[in-house]
Amino acid sequence: MNEPNRPLSPEELAELQKKFSEIKHGINNALAVMMALSEMSQRRPDYAEKLATAVLNKAPQIVSSLQEFTQFLNEKAGVKPAVASEPK
């Protein structure tokens, strides 16, 4: 059962902020790599393959990090994941 409006302790809030900062840093790093390779591939077409590889590797990492943070946040907030219902 969900616990609506459950206040977070200062420790939990600090933990969430730390986790958010780590995830934000990881996403920024991944995007910086993709942006650098994008610029390089405009000047040197041989970098296009490196760019494609980076996007294929980094994009799922970003999605996974966001999903992990969402789960972490929901756990701290006392929110249970919704059960997917079958289509009718």
- Domain chopping of the chain, boundaries: 11-77
Cα R_g (the chain), whole angstroms: 18
* pLDDT score of 66: 92
* pLDDT score of 18: 92
pLDDT (tens place) for every residue of the chain, 88 residues total: 455 567 878 898 898 899 999 999 999 998 998 899 899 889 998 888 888 998 899 899 999 999 999 998 888 877 776 666 656 5
CA–CA distances in Å: residue 88 to residues 12, 26, 81, 84? 40, 39, 21, 12
Please name the residue ranges forming H helices in 44-84.
Answer: 48-77
* pLDDT score of 22: 92
* pLDDT score of 1: 45
Name the token pair of 10. 């200062």
